[in-house]
Amino acid sequence: MTRLKLYNTLSGRIEEIVPSDGQPIKMYVCGPTVYSRAHIGNFRTFMATDMLRRTLKFLGMEVLEVMNITDVDDRIIQLASAKDTNIEAFTEEPTRAYLEDLATLRMEIPEVMPKATEHVGEMIALIEQLMARGHTYTVDGSVYFRIASFPSYGGLSRLDVSGIKTGARVDTDKYEKEDARDFVLWKLKGDEPPWAQWDASFGRGRPGWHIECSAMSMKYLGETFDIHCGGVDLIFPHHENEIAQSECGTGKLFAKHWMHVDHLLVENETMSKSKGNVYNIPDLLARGFRSDQIRYMLAQSHYRKAFNFTWDGLAQVETALARIHTFWNRLLEETSTPAGPAHDDVVQAATSALAAFEAALANDLNAPEALAAVHGLVSEGNSVADRGTVNGAGARVLLDALKKMDQVFACFEPPTGDLLSGDEQALFDARQDARKRRDFSAADVARKALQERGVILEDTAKGTRWKRVRA
């Protein structure tokens, strides 16, 4: 079995992912905070983790993935209060929208998607464990984690956190602490509405942000698990804090491997509401882009490099994607061609492209190289087909290879919804009729009318094919 080699932020090296005996690969992804619709930056990270789980499966491993839903934090409480509602009612719509966007992007649904508010009991138990082991202190009823009690703090970010001055804002929690690096585990009941408070042995209040990921990951994946993922902005302090809480609570290694996805920028700038460049999936669909184009766009780059989103870049995706879709359709047509076994050069083209594809993904999820292997297969396949060497069996071999690759990219199959509209079909049929009558000028008028609608025709020995291009 080919093993996935993945960069590990913790060690700073590329390391093999090896499942524990008979166990699936256990992965945890810091999921969305459901206070508004997730943006394309969030989906860049979630696309990378979808590619991770799909690659692990492609390589023959089983996966158990947990992705949390953060449904309690300062913003959620403020927004829900402002709307005179509560957490449950307020987060319902953003959560539904998130699941809808996952489906639009053909992302696999993680095996477990726990909500923070449904796991406050587990968080309280972990805080009690940390208290018993002497890792906490209390100020005005709020419980803090004492970083000084965990000497290896900072090992993930390799940041010299000792220099951070007391009083500096490294956390959004504005409470008095012994040390600026310390973070809150439990906030004493303040002005929060009753629906944002829970009872604990150490007082009524609500959890700090970091504790939920430790409690929920360990509940579903065990105290030590394989891969923990998130965007690069979470390395410090969120992931450092998760490690501190978990390892001090259990005395065991928390996650073996840390994967961090670099950010998506918009026109080379960070996204922000003030710049008006925070786009979400419906924004892209509203501009006429299809979900397979958005998926290809988000999946095509290396996860460890920043990705620059531009509208032009998204439009250009169609050139590459249409080439794959057209090839897929061509193979479908050719599968009905009879005669004999597949030719050696066809089998050879499929085998070597698949090997290159697998090697690229196994090498730290190198998506650009994997796509180069896909396009190589399209070129090779098209040229053998042009030479007339592809018979039915050969077309099936090529199509099987392309389908296998699509297990990871999930956008190569031509969209079924992409049929000709009623008008377009009528023009298409009119042109075919005109050609039969040898009325070439009428045929040309219909062809041009289709072209204006973004439908390009190609006449081949097997009949007329069409493909859609963006205007």
Cβ atoms 231, 264 nearer than 8 A = no
Least Cα distance to 385 among 307, 326, 311 occurs for: 326
Residue 45 interacts with ligand AMP (CB under 6 A): yes or no: yes
Residue 44 interacts with ligand AMP (CB under 6 A): yes or no: yes
Question: What does DSSP assign to residue 39?
Answer: B
Name the residue with tokens 């093999």.
16
- Identified binder of ligand AMP from the candidate list 52, 271, 346, 354, rule CB under 6 A: 271
Pick from ligand AMP, Zn ion, none: which does 414 bind, CB < 5 to 8 A by kind? Answer: none
Pick from Zn ion, ligand AMP, none: which does 156 bind, CB < 5 to 8 A by kind? Answer: none
Question: What does DSSP assign to residue 115?
Answer: B
Position 63, amino acid: V
- Identified binder of Zn ion from the candidate list 30, 34, 51, 66, rule CB under 5 A: 30
Least Cα distance to 69 among 97, 41, 48 occurs for: 97
Residue 33 interacts with ligand AMP (CB under 6 A): yes or no: yes
Pick from ligand AMP, Zn ion, none: which does 213 bind, CB < 5 to 8 A by kind? Answer: Zn ion
Least Cα distance to 37 among 88, 97, 121 occurs for: 97
Beta pairing, strands 13-16 & 5-8: antiparallel
Residue 20: φ, ψ to 5°: -70, 155
Pick from ligand AMP, Zn ion, none: which does 237 bind, CB < 5 to 8 A by kind? Answer: none
- Taking residues 212 to 241 in sequence order and writing x for each that binds ligand AMP by CB under 6 A, - otherwise, the string is ------------------xx-xx-------
- Identified binder of ligand AMP from the candidate list 4, 28, 41, 381, rule CB under 6 A: 41
What is the footprint of ligand AMP within residues 55-114 (CB under 6 A)? Answer: 70
Position 150, amino acid: F
Question: What does DSSP assign to residue 451?
Answer: H
Count of Cβ atoms closer than 10 Å to residue 394 Cβ = 28
Least Cα distance to 404 among 361, 360, 357 occurs for: 357
Q: 308 or 432: whose CB is closer to ligand AMP?
A: 308
Q: What is the CA radius of gyration of the chain?
A: 27
Pick from ligand AMP, Zn ion, none: which does 32 bind, CB < 5 to 8 A by kind? Answer: ligand AMP
Residue 264 interacts with ligand AMP (CB under 6 A): yes or no: yes
Q: 271 or 370: whose CB is closer to ligand AMP?
A: 271
Separation of CA 376 from chain center: 25
Residue 213 interacts with Zn ion (CB under 5 A): yes or no: yes
Count of Cβ atoms closer than 10 Å to residue 462 Cβ = 11
Residue 37 interacts with ligand AMP (CB under 6 A): yes or no: no
Kindly tell me the burial class for residue 288, based on how many C-beta atoms sit within 10 Å of its own C-beta (0-12, 13-18, 19 or more). exposed
Residue 205 interacts with ligand AMP (CB under 6 A): yes or no: no
Q: Which stretch binds ligand AMP (CB under 6 A): 38-46, 51-59, 248-256, 422-430?
A: 38-46
Q: 128 or 233: whose CB is closer to ligand AMP?
A: 233
Q: Which stretch binds ligand AMP (CB under 6 A): 36-44, 84-92, 276-284, 324-332?
A: 36-44
Q: 213 or 227: whose CB is closer to Zn ion?
A: 213
Residue 259 interacts with ligand AMP (CB under 6 A): yes or no: no
Cβ atoms 259, 304 nearer than 8 A = no
Q: 206 or 447: whose CB is closer to Zn ion?
A: 206
Alpha-carbon dihedral angle through residues 399, 298, 420, 447, given to the nearest 10 degrees: -90
Shortest CB 389 distance to ligand AMP, Å: 44
Name the residue with tokens 């789980």.
53
Q: Which residues bind Zn ion (CB under 5 A)?
A: 30, 213
Q: Which residues bind ligand AMP (CB under 6 A)?
A: 30, 32-33, 41-42, 44-45, 70, 230-231, 233-234, 261, 263-264, 271
